[in-house]
Amino acid sequence: MVDTLSFGLSRVTLQHILVVDDDPAILRLVGDKLDREGFDVWTAASGQQALDMIDRRGLPHLAVVDITMPGMDGFEFCQRVQEFSDLPVIMLTAVDEEETVIQGIQYFAEDYVTKPFSPRELVARVQRVLRRIGDFAYALEPVIGVDDRLAVDFAHQRAVVGSEDVSLTPTETKLLYILMRNAGCVVTTDFLLRRLWPLEEVFEDTLRVHIYRLRQKIEAAPGQPCYIVTERGLGYRFATAC
């Protein structure tokens, strides 16, 4: 299924929240509370199950993730997802050691909530994170159609350009995700550098190289880009009309 972007249209869609926890009681509690607040809630009992869900359904708007789970823990799940997206995450866990909290926030999470917790507080934090980072103004599907020429499959790190499948690198996929999530708005160079390389000192020239390579893959005329527009002195904008 392809969901074509409806740029410029006022369109109300449910925001999808993925809750990942191996405790069925937590899944029910958090799921019921978020559902009553008007979110479309997906629940998964393991990191692998959550990845499989993303593979089938596409990316959610935000994930609430436990750290300590059998098999794939919350950190590994976040690492896997963040290879191809900038999915915002709230850690919800009984682990409250300072080093673990710091690691979670530095590497993976927008926020961190320890168990036991107040469901009302969790909802407030979910709403705050979504307001702060912005979110897609359309429902995410496994493959998102931009127009008749371009579609993007974030989970499988590929674009469909015309009738051709084009592989994207993890950095290109994440870059495109950020730009499309803010479609129509200028995304500053500083913001892109911080989101793409949060723990590295990377300069603007590196970003320009990735922009150039991404344009070569998705633009009909890379020298006159239609989708990824440079806003000189500011950053880049994913065009709302091509």
Reported as a single tens digit per residue, the pLDDT across 155-173 is: 889 999 998 999 999 999 9
pLDDT for residue 136: 54
The tens digit of pLDDT for each residue in 192-227 reads 998 888 777 889 999 999 999 999 999 999 999 999
User: pLDDT band for position 86 (50/70/90)?
Assistant: confident
Residue pair 90/113 in contact by the 8 Å Cβ criterion: yes
pLDDT for residue 8: 35
User: Mean pLDDT over residues 101-116, rounded?
Assistant: 82
Q: What is the dihedral of CA 141, 89, 203, 233, to 10 degrees?
A: 60
- pLDDT above 90: percentage of residues in the chain: 57
What's the DSSP call for residue 151?
A: E
pTM value is 0.75
Is-cis flag, bond preceding 70, omega within 30? no
